[in-house]
Structure 1
Amino acid sequence: MPVTPPRLALVASPTDRAQEAEAELRKSHDWADLEQADIVVALGGDGFMLQVLHTMLETERVRPVYGLNLGTVGFLMNRHKSSRTLEERVARARSIAVSPLWMEATTNGGTVTTSWAINEVSLLRETRQTAKLEIVVNGKVRIPELSCDGVLVATPAGSTAYNLSANGPILPLGSKMLALTPISPFRPRRWHGAILPDNAEIIFRARESVKRPVSVVADQTEVRDISEVRVRAWPEHELTLLFDKGKSLDERIFAEQFMV
């Protein structure tokens, strides 16, 4: 019996480039409604890809996503132009599983905010005052007081983003690890971060949080004046990205480690 091809839905960033590409693709392909689709084709950059993935997590309608880069860096995307048809590229694509982070932030006023993060959760000082943070891993205080500009927890998929800029380690996909990386640490000077298993629960407590206010950012969600933040990976809500063969995310992560 012939194999039924997957039903594709098309979504696009509001940028001019993405909108022009969407109009062109609408004419040359048959597209399914988003609700009935098996695979989502996303036109845009990494920021738009994160937006699409977050929407899936919030609606619990998770489907594989094949991205076409019409942004800038496009680390999570595929090249826009190819000699193959879009259907061929999607059919031949390799799937990569990505486990998001789950963040729960409590403010000084007691308000609790939860959010997903696919790249990283980062804590940052809000003023000129250095942040002072207590770091707890799996119920044990590992650093009683970290004086710094901030600290972040990155997934393997996000380890080449802000984490790499903060001199954190690049994590291969499938490593089931998280990068815990300080941002401009002052005390203790010799602590450069840690690599943790992705079943670890990490708690950050802001010390002197009124005098030294701290914000937390989970990808694109920011909460200010926090007193405590809990972070853990959530493999039960695994996401799937599709990449052209030889251009998959794990190959890009591997290649980043040899760039000079």
Structure 2
Amino acid sequence: MLSNASGDLPPLAWTCHVRRFNTIAIVTSDTDDARLSGESLAARYGDVNPLEADVIVALGGDGLMLQTLHRFMGSGKPIYGMNRGSVGFLMNEYGDEDLLERLERAERSIVHPLLMVATDAAGVAHTARAINEVYLFRQSYQAAKLRVTIDGKPRLPELVADGVLVATPAGSTAYNLSANGPILPLNAPLLALTPISAFRPRRWRGALLPDHARIAIDVLEPAKRPVSAVADHFEHRNIRRVEVAMDRTVDLVMLHDPGHSLEERILLEQFGY
């Protein structure tokens, strides 16, 4: 029997250290750097089937992070990304030392995806989820004509533009920012509704909406001015109507090193870093 000096059983913390994550799965992009880094980490820390892992380590760029979040959506598995790509906004810095300790200290960021239901010209409804944004974009040389409805009430009878997008806080620094949309703090209960190269109304620059809003966008003159609908990298063409709402039934968990959380990175973006 184990005992301390007083004869009592010691607390569990005195006898062992229980890690947050005992099994790791490694996924990589198809670049040489990512693959070689994955092999190095697997040799040092092990690599199990992602379905059996406690945590998934993703090596690549932001594109791989989004693909990995989509791939394991609904599993609840946390994703710890390390940058072996180009931008790496969603990723931690790469390092093959002390990975287990970094995972122990990592901070969680939880985001919810958007649910898009896009109905095409044949009346077929297509469902997809987006972590960054849902957007509509013209398919031809002619600008799209769109009607925007929020929670069942028409708010913009006619928008003439290349398109329009709905961005989450996590996605507000991606396409939304390129379209001159606002950067949203990660925990802000908001969605950004941002026009893409708006022609009419000329002074409309978009809107901030509560994240419980239900957004409907109808395509006007769809035969003459065809429009695509995209949820992250899922695209559907010849769309007549899109409905968008945040899906709170799905939690997506990203892990970041202390001081480099997604909240901190989004805040830095607001000051030009």
Letter in 2 for 1:240: V
Q: Deviations over 1:210-237 (max 9, x none)?
A: 0000001110000011000000001220
Distance 1:212 1:31 in 2: 50
Aligned to 2:86: 72
Aligned-pair distance for 1:31? 2.8
Distance 2:41 2:116 in 1: 37
Aligned to 1:230: 243
Aligned to 2:37: 21
Letter in 2 for 1:215: S
Aligned to 2:60: 44
- Give the share of equivalent positions with the same residue, in percent: 52
- Match among 63, 68, 80 for residue 77 of structure 2: 63
The SS at the match of 2:249 is helix
- Please, which runs of 5 or more residues in structure 1 have no aligned partner? none
Of 206-215 and 48-57, the range deviating more from structure 2? 48-57
The equivalences for 1:234-253 within 5 A come to 234-253=247-266
Aligned to 1:221: 234
The SS at the match of 1:237 is coil
The answer to whether structure 1 residue 8 and structure 2 residue 21 are counterparts is: no
The answer to whether structure 1 residue 101 and structure 2 residue 117 are counterparts is: no
Aligned-pair distance for 1:67? 0.2
TM-score for the superposition, normalised by structure 1: 0.96
TM-score for the superposition, normalised by structure 2: 0.92
Distance 2:39 2:78 in 1: 22
The equivalences for 1:111-122 within 5 A come to 111-122=124-135
- Match among 242, 254, 259 for residue 267 of structure 2: 254
- Please, which runs of 5 or more residues in structure 2 have no aligned partner? 1-11
The SS at the match of 1:222 is strand
Q: Deviations over 1:102-131 (max 9, x none)?
A: 000000111211001000001000111110
Q: Deviations over 1:15-69 (max 9, x none)?
A: 2111111111111112332112111111111111111111112xx3221100011
Aligned to 2:3: none
- Match among 199, 202, 205 for residue 192 of structure 1: 205
The answer to whether structure 1 residue 124 and structure 2 residue 137 are counterparts is: yes
Aligned-pair distance for 1:176? 1.6
Aligned-pair distance for 1:8? 1.5
Distance 2:223 2:142 in 1: 11
Aligned-pair distance for 1:4? 2.8
Distance 2:209 2:85 in 1: 32
Distance 1:23 1:30 in 2: 10
CA RMSD of aligned residues (A): 1.1
Aligned to 2:4: none
Letter in 2 for 1:258: F
Number of matched pairs:
257
Structure possessing the higher radius of gyration over alpha carbons:
2
The answer to whether structure 1 residue 144 and structure 2 residue 160 are counterparts is: no
Aligned to 1:81: 95
